[in-house]
Amino acid sequence: MQKTRVSFVGAGALASGLARSLHAEGFEIAEIVARSSAQSQLRAAVLARAVKASVASLNDARIDCDVLWLAVPDEAVEAVAEELAGRSRLPRVVLHASGALSSRALGSLAARGAETGSAHPMMTFVAGKPPSLQGVWFAVEGSTPAVKAARALARALGARSFSIDAEKKALYHAFGAMLSPMLAAEMTAAERLGVQAGISKKDVRRIMEPIVKRTVENVLGRGAEKSFSGPLARGDVRTIAAHLAALGNLDEAKVYRALATYAIEALPVKRGSEIKKLLMRKAR
């Protein structure tokens, strides 16, 4: 059975991960379309060679495919859609990969008769080797044919899919932000505290690794309430006061106070009212 021909607009980490993964599963990647700047075209050319596709700018792209998938920054989605809507020829299905925007961002293409939708993988994509999409969840919404196409692509990658309400996309994306970039920010704060405590930069992540992995495993397997430990769970007011005194005016103190305050509301913290008073005091 002939597989869907897919083209991408964009050549960044997300487009690269999706295109390479589909190519590895035997899909024909027809075209990698990027901005006309030298840097964008160079990045597109590298990706195009890897997936045996042609490379083009928006001005000269053929858009000869079954599904066109936009993997561009959120602020560019509508503008790219409007530019594409001026073409005489459009693919049947156009998707975008934004986690925050709904398929309405492709309204100009829908007005031209294209089936439009959004398909966003709940996964982090950074420069380098793309992540496996096996078992990853795609949030999909849009017209029925577009959603059907998105689900088929996800399934071919070994991924799963679920329907997301168009009105809830921004909240869904905030959920994702807390799972990866904000988690990375919290771990950065922890790493810096480790160095402040006298642990070498060479060792600090190795020391972090076992406890971080175990905590994530516990939360995902048992839930946060049953995985919650340490001085907040014990109600150890004296230890928390010592933490706050040691943190002083460090930037990381703000992270500690914010997370501890949230924990009092969301998790089984003993002596929460006493601890909250401590947290509200200004550092001296």
pLDDT value of position 82: 97
pLDDT value of position 284: 56
Q: Does 104 lie in the same domain as 78?
A: yes
Q: Does 29 lie in the same domain as 151?
A: yes
Mean pLDDT taken over the chain? 96
Q: Does 147 lie in the same domain as 188?
A: no
Task: Give 3's pLDDT tier (boundaries 50, 70, 90).
Answer: confident
Number of H helices, E strands in the chain: 13, 8
Q: Does 106 lie in the same domain as 63?
A: yes
Task: Give 1's pLDDT tier (boundaries 50, 70, 90).
Answer: very low
Q: Are 114 and 91 in contact (CB under 8 A)?
A: yes
Handedness of CA 111, 113, 119, 120 (dihedral sign): negative
Q: Does 155 lie in the same domain as 27?
A: yes
Instruction: Decide if pLDDT at 283 tops 80.
Output: no
Q: Does 144 lie in the same domain as 27?
A: yes
pLDDT in tens, 129-155: 899 999 999 999 999 999 999 999 999
Q: Does 133 lie in the same domain as 71?
A: yes
Instruction: Decide if pLDDT at 192 tops 90.
Output: yes
Residue that finishes a domain, picked among 167, 195, 230: 167
Q: Is 197 exposed, middle or buried (0-12, 13-18, 19+ CB in 10 A)?
A: exposed
Range of the domain at 91: 5-167
Total domains present in the chain = 2
Q: Does 193 lie in the same domain as 143?
A: no
Lowest mean pLDDT segment, chosen from 2-11, 77-86, 98-107, 198-207: 2-11
Handedness of CA 11, 14, 20, 26 (dihedral sign): negative
% helix / strand / coil in the chain, to the nearest 5? 55, 15, 30
Look up the CATH number of the domain holding residue 66: 3.40.50.720
Q: Does 202 lie in the same domain as 85?
A: no
pLDDT in tens, 36-79: 999 999 999 999 999 999 999 999 999 999 999 999 999 999 99
Q: Does 190 lie in the same domain as 117?
A: no
Task: Round to whole Å and give the CA distance between 45 and 262.
Answer: 46
Q: Which residues, 6+ apart, have CB-to-CB distance to 205 below 8 Å? A: 191
pLDDT in tens, 232-270: 999 999 999 999 999 999 999 999 999 999 999 999 999
pLDDT value of position 88: 87
Residue that finishes a domain, picked among 167, 200, 228: 167
Pairing of strands 67-70, 5-9: parallel
Residue that finishes a domain, picked among 137, 167, 197: 167
pLDDT in tens, 96-130: 999 999 999 999 999 999 999 999 999 999 988 89
Contacts 24+ apart (CB under 8 A), 22-27: 22/51, 22/153, 22/156, 22/157, 23/50, 23/51, 23/52, 25/156, 25/157, 27/3, 27/156
pLDDT value of position 282: 72
Q: Does 106 lie in the same domain as 20?
A: yes
C-alpha closest to that of 199 among 186, 190, 212, 187: 190
Residue type, 25: E
